[in-house]
């Protein structure tokens, strides 16, 4: 009897193991019963409520299940979405959209202009507490509503009838159409919110107007999507089911791709890149991406306050070619401007030293450093903060070495967790040089240039230059896109000349795409709607 008891523990565990046993047949992507697309997702979406979304991965999922007034073609060109057409008043301030007659929610209800008006009001309503409430600040009264000064009903949107939506703006905004492709402007179904309250986003409750609907979401694991039969363009959707697998570690994702469990990866980890390129050749898709990786200076404290020469010296002494080729090494472009190449209707300005050789840059940087009062007798000692990540670590170590070799600068590296670094950047007390980045929200230079306006909260260096702000204001008031562009480019020139930040490189998007996936096109936004893809049977043997 007591012998039996001795094994109670073992039985306890065995029992527990069997209670939660969920046996299901293994799945292999090569032999699906219906076409199922397996994609990697770098993290869970914070929400599938369009208005509460924030991250790029939430956008990736929402673009599959929802649809804005406008959308993007596989190559990244703007195309009509839920709106079939639109017109712009001569003053550039009023937009009128015509919603498709056959736009439908996943329960068959028609998608109306009222749905869009409701959703945009919901976005700016403080009660929603949307991360991106300010993203549509260009719409009349939006800022006052976000600040709680006006009621959401005062927003400059109006559903004239079920199929006609007008949007009134504060100022001409050429990028409004691009903005309306952003998932935070996607509609939600008012009736379902009324019925389910906060739980309207649950799989089963969630009504969507895109090519797919959300069937299941296991946080940390997978989001399962299936075809929305009511979608207006359902006939063009080739793949019946999509699985977004949440894979936070790049190496794990890569292993799953290599093991034949994924069609598309969300990234390719830096450590294995050279080998992946060799092994997979054409399956590796690398394309320019709207993002900049930079080091910012804290302009509110010595030694960098009012010291552009010192800042320029540090910027010049970084050999960006070595950095992108040997340290980052995934086809990134060295950054000599603030706005990445490839932005519509824009030609980035370049740093003055962009055309010098690295030796010339180092020589000039040493002179600048000496002028700033630093040299062998009085070496500059600075702190460089970066957040925990293998790639950031390697770049920081490389920059530390470059500064030391070229200028004799002693750099202390401080590795902080992202949240700590962000808090320190926000407070601007202890920071000196810090790592940061910016990913464009829409295909327009404004998304990069606006963040360093003096009143922008994302202005991490605390850059303040009246000339710059004035240039940005002038650009904002232009209705002529060419004039606007001239002002934006001038603003970038001013910003670069001040060396408030060190642009290091421009991001690339990098994916592994199974040869059986068809319809994939590289684009600068890195948007790849599942509805544009199809699966061809492939011979699995490599």
Partner 1 sequence: MNRSIKVTGGLLLGIIAVALAGPLVSPHDYDQTNFDALLQPPTLEGLQLFGTDDLGRDLFVRSMLGVQVTILVAVVASIVSLVIGVAYGAIAGYAGGRVDALMMRFVDTLYALPFIFFVILLMVAFERNFLLIFVAIGAINWLDMARIVRGQTLSLREREFVAAARLIGVSPARILLRHIAPNLVGVVIVYVTLTIPQAILVESFLSFLGLGIQEPQTSLGTLVDAGVNQMEGASWMLLIPATLLAAILLLFNFLGDVLRDHFDARGEL
Partner 2 sequence: MLLYALKRLLGAIPTLLLVIVLAFLMVHAAPGGPFDDERVLPPDTREALEAAYNLDQPLHRQFITYLSGVVTGDLGPSYHYRDYSVGELIGNAFPVSLQLGAMAMLLAVVLGVAAGTFAALRRNTLLDRAVMGFAMTGISIPVFVIAPVLVLLLAVKLQWLPAGWSGSGGIGRLILPVVSLALPQIAYIARLTRASMIDVLASDFIRTARAQGLGMGAVVRYHALKPAMLPVLSYMGPAIAAILTGSVVVEEIFGIPGLGRSFVNGALNRDYTLVLGIVIFYAALIVLLNLVVDLLYGVIDPRIRRR
Cis omega (within 30 of 0) for bond into 303? yes
Residues 439-498 that bind partner 1 (CB under 8 A): none
Q: Which is nearer to partner 2, 149 or 321 (CB)?
A: 149
Nearest distance, CB of residue 122 and partner 2, angstroms = 13
CB nearer to partner 2: give 56 or 337: 56
Residues in 140-179 that interact with partner 2 by CB under 8 A: 146-148
Residue 413 in the binding site for partner 1 (CB under 8 A): yes
Query: Order of strands, edge to edge, in the sheet holding 157-161?
Result: 83-88, 94-99, 164-168, 157-161
- Residue 414 interaction partner, one of partner 1, partner 2, none, beta carbon < 5-8 Å per kind: partner 1
Q: Name which of 87 and 388 has its Cβ closer to partner 2.
A: 388
Tell me the closest approach of the beta carbon of residue 181 to partner 2, in angstroms: 18
Tell me the C-alpha distance between 358 and 487, whole Å. 31
Closest among 444, 486, 439 to 174, alpha carbons compared: 444
Both tokens of 491, joined, read: 């603003």
Query: Distance of alpha carbon 489 from its chain centroid, rounded?
Result: 23
Q: Least distance in Å: CB of 402 to partner 1? A: 9
Nearer to partner 2, 326 or 426 (CB): 426
Closest among 27, 56, 30 to 44, alpha carbons compared: 56
> Coil, helix or strand for 436?
strand
Stretch of 18-26, 330-338, 358-366, 503-511 contacting partner 2, by CB under 8 A: 18-26
**Contacts (CB under 8 A) with partner 1, residues 293-332:** 322, 326-327
3-state secondary structure 110-161: ECCHHHHHHHHHHHHCHHHCCCCHHHHCCECCHHHHHCCCCCHHHCCEEEEE
Find tokens 């709607």 and name the residue: 529
Binder of partner 2 out of 5, 235, 355, 466 (CB under 8 A): 5
Residue 176 CB contacts under 8 Å (≥ 6 apart), including other chains: 95, 138, 167, 169
Residue from the set 77, 79, 126, 151 that interacts with partner 2 by CB under 8 A: 126
| 271 scored as a contact of partner 1 (CB under 8 A) | yes
From the list partner 2, partner 1, none, partner contacted by residue 390 (C-beta under 5 to 8 A by kind): partner 1
Identify the residue among 249, 477, 480, 518 touching partner 2 (CB under 8 A): 249
Q: Are 507 and 468 in contact (CB under 8 A)?
A: no
Nearer to partner 1, 273 or 506 (CB): 273
Per residue, what are the HEC states of 442-498?
CCCCHHHHHHHCCCCCCCCCCCCCHHHHHHHHHHHHCCCHHHHHHHHHHHHHHHHHH
Binding letters toward partner 2, positions 254-293, x by CB under 8 A:
-xx-xxxx--------------------------------
Question: What does 394 interact with, of partner 1, partner 2, none (CB < 5 to 8 A by kind)?
Answer: partner 1
Nearer to partner 2, 20 or 235 (CB): 20
Binding mask 51-80 vs partner 2 (x if CB under 8 A, - otherwise)?
-x-xx-------------------------
Site string for partner 2, 393-422 (x = CB under 8 A): ------------------------xxxx-x
Stretch that binds partner 2, among 102-110, 176-184, 216-224, 228-236 (CB under 8 A): 216-224
Closest CA to 63 of 516, 536, 526, 534: 526
What three-state secondary structure class fits 421? helix
In the bound state with partner 1, the residue whose beta carbon lies nearer, of 98 and 322, is 322
Q: Is 383 in the site for partner 1 (CB under 8 A)?
A: no
In the complex, minimum distance from the CB of residue 393 to partner 1, in angstroms, rounded to a whole number: 6
Nearer to partner 2, 102 or 437 (CB): 437
Q: 524-528: long-range contacts (C-beta < 8 A, 24 or more apart)?
A: 524/76, 524/287, 524/288, 524/289, 524/290, 524/342, 524/343, 524/443, 525/72, 525/76, 525/289, 525/290, 525/440, 525/443, 526/287, 526/289, 526/290, 527/59, 527/60, 527/63, 527/72, 527/76, 528/74, 528/264
DSSP state of 428: T
C-beta closer to partner 1: residue 125 or 253: 253
CA atoms within 13 A on the CB side of 285: 20
* Residues 148, 118 contacting (CB under 8 angstroms): no
The site partner of 160 among partner 2, partner 1, none (C-beta below 5 to 8 Å per kind) is none
Q: Examine residue 241 and tell whether it contacts partner 1 (CB under 8 A).
A: no
Residue 277 CB, nearest approach to partner 1 (Å): 11
Residue 54 CA to residue 183 CA, distance in Å, equals 9
Nearer to partner 2 by C-beta: 220 or 481?
A: 220
Q: What does the alpha-carbon distance between residue 257 and residue 248 come to, in Å, rounded to a whole number?
A: 14
Q: Which does 226 bind (CB under 5 to 8 A by kind): partner 2, partner 1, none?
A: none
Position 394 contacts partner 1 (CB under 8 A)? yes
Tokens of 408: 């004799």
Residue ranges in contact with partner 1 by CB under 8 A: 251, 269, 271-272, 274-275, 322, 326-327, 388-390, 393-394, 396-398, 401, 413-417, 420
């Amino acid at each position: 009897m007591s012998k039996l008891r001795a094994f109670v523990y073992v039985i306890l565990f065995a029992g527990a193991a069997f209670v939660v046993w969920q046996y299901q047949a293994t799945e292999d992507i090569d032999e699906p019963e219906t076409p199922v697309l397996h994609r990697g997702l770098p993290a869970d979406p914070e929400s599938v409520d369009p208005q509460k979304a924030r991250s790029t991965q939430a956008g990736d999922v929402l673009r599959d299940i929802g649809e804005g007034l406008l959308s993007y073609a596989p190559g990244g060109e703007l195309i009509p979405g839920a709106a079939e057409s639109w017109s712009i008043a001569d003053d550039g301030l009023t937009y009128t959209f015509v919603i498709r007659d056959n736009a439908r929610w996943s329960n068959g209800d028609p998608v109306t202009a009222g749905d869009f008006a409701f959703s945009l009001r919901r976005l700016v309503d403080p009660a929603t507490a949307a991360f991106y409430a300010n993203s549509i600040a260009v719409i009349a009264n939006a800022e006052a509503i976000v600040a709680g000064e006006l009621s959401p009903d005062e927003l400059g949107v109006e559903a004239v009838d079920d199929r006609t939506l007008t949007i009134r703006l504060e100022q001409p905004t050429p990028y409004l159409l691009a903005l309306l492709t952003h998932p935070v402007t996607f509609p939600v179904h008012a009736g379902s919110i009324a019925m389910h309250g906060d739980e309207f986003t649950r799989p089963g409750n969630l009504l969507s107007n895109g090519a797919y609907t959300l069937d299941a979401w296991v946080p940390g694991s997978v989001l399962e999507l299936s075809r929305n039969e009511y979608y207006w363009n359902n006939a063009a959707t080739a793949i019946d089911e999509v699985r977004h697998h949440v894979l936070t570690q790049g190496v794990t994702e890569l292993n799953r791709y290599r093991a034949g469990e994924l069609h598309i990866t969300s990234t390719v980890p830096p450590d294995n890149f050279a080998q992946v390129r060799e092994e997979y050749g054409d399956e590796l898709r690398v394309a320019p991406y709207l993002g900049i990786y930079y080091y910012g200076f804290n302009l509110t404290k010595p030694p960098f306050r009012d010291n552009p020469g010192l800042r320029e010296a540090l910027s010049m002494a970084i050999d960006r070619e070595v950095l992108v080729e040997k340290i980052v090494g995934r086809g990134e472009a060295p950054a000599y401007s603030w706005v990445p190449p490839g932005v519509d209707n824009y030609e980035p300005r370049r740093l003055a030293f962009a055309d010098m050789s690295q030796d010339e840059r180092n020589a000039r940087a040493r002179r600048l450093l000496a002028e700033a009062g630093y040299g062998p007798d009085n070496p500059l000692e600075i702190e460089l903060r970066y957040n925990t990540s293998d790639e950031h670590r390697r770049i920081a170590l490389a920059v530390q070495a470059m500064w030391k070799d070229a200028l004799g600068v002693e750099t202390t590296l401080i590795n902080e967790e992202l949240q700590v670094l962000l808090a320190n950047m926000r407070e601007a007390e202890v920071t000196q040089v810090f790592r940061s980045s910016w990913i464009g929200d829409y295909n327009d230079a404004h998304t990069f240039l606006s963040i360093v306006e003096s009143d922008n909260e994302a202005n991490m260096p605390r850059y303040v230059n009246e000339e710059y702000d004035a240039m940005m204001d002038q650009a904002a008031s232009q209705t002529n896109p060419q004039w606007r562009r001239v002002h934006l480019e001038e603003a970038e020139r001013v910003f670069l000349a001040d060396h408030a930040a060190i642009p290091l490189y421009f991001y690339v998007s990098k994916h592994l795409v199974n040869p059986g996936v068809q319809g994939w096109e590289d684009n600068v936004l890195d948007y790849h709607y599942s509805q544009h893809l199809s699966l061809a049977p492939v011979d699995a043997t490599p």
